[in-house]
Structure formats: structure tokens, C-alpha cells
Amino acid sequence: MTLEPVIIRPFADDDLVGTAAALVEVHHTDGYPVEGVEDPGAWIKSDVVLASWVAESNGRIVGHVAVMKPQGEAAVNLWIKQSGDSEDRVGVLARLFVVQPARKQAAGRRLMDSAVAYARAHGLRLVLDVMTKDAAAIHLYERLGWRKIGETLHPFGNGKTSPAVCYVAPTN
């Protein structure tokens, strides 16, 4: 597939079907996410999403990212304990995925840049957790200056867990 330039823009309700299709594609190629694929629309668009963006190319959604309200994530708890920030000053970077062909056009980095800019404009410090199996994502976060703040087990499914690393966004 030849991609035209990737455009990053805010998620709109009519993007849901295309975003869900991209999510399912990424799940098939990368095994991410480990949850949410059975009902991708609900996983992508939930009440805890503060803001989200899509990457679009050739009229097709090729990626997505969201900033979410904290919901008891280990990364949030670690950051609050380490920084003294209150939970209302923390956002969670989540639901980041990009189909393989768009990765060569820096869609992931550009989606993250949008999320980080939103967080800064709203006085939030972003944190995330990433499963250790997702080595490409870990490489991206570290390349962009995200700092490891700890490790956890990411819960999913019916009592399943997977080792994960927690990160906080850079301050600059």
C-alpha cells in the first residue's frame, strides 16, 4: 500500500468505524491491544477519554492516540507517589496504535506530539504503561524522552496479566 502524507487531526465521531478497523489490523499484526478488540468502538471511545487524535492517509485512518482520565493505573499511582502531583494533574496516554505501513511516516511520534501538546496546554503530566512484549513502542517512548518510573503487571482479560513498564512524559 502506498501512503499519501499522514495528517494528524482530532478524532471525530464519524472516524469510529475506520479507527476500529485500524485497531483490528494492528491487533492482527502486533497482538496489540490485548483487550478491546471484541468491541473496538467502546475501547476507542469511552467516557474517560479527555481528547483523542487520528492519523489519516488516503482518506483512511491509519493510527490513533488518546489522553485519558486516570482510572487507577499503576503508572498514575507510581507518578503520584514519586512526584507528589495530585491525580487531577495527571493524564494517561493510551490507545496508541499505528498500522505498519504508516509507521515509516512517523505517525506514532506525531500522534504522541499531539497528546503531549494537549496535556501541557491543560496542565497535565502524561504517564503510560506498556507491556514489555511491545518492544517497538518502548523504543519509541524512550527515543522521545519518556522516562521509566517503574514496572508493573498490566491486567487484562479474565485475571490475566503481562509484565509492563511505566513511563512519564518529558517536561520539555
Residue 142's pLDDT is 96
Query: Could you tell me the domains of the chain?
Result: 7-168 (3.40.630.30)
CB 64 within 8 A of CB 83: no
Residue predicted with more confidence, 42 or 67? 67
Put simply, whether the predicted model's pTM sits higher than 0.75 gets the answer yes
| pLDDT digit string, tens, across residues 44-99 | 999 999 999 999 999 999 999 999 999 999 999 999 999 999 999 999 999 999 99
Residue-level length of the chain: 172
Helix axes 107-121, 135-143, angle to 10 degrees: 50
Residue with cell 494537549: 118
Q: Which of left, alpha, beta for 150 (phi over 0: left; psi -120 to 50: alpha)?
A: left
Position 122: which residue type?
Answer: H
pLDDT value for 3: 59
Q: What pLDDT is attached to residue 168? A: 97
Q: How far apart are CA 107 and CA 78, in angstroms?
A: 28
For residue 33, give every residue at least 6 positions away whose Cβ sits within 8 Å of its Cβ, in sequence order, or none.
Answer: 23, 27, 43, 95, 97
Name the strands in the sheet holding 125-131, side by side, starting at the edge strand that comes first in the sequence: 7-10, 49-57, 60-68, 90-98, 125-131, 160-168, 147-156
Tell me the mean pLDDT in the region 155-170: 90
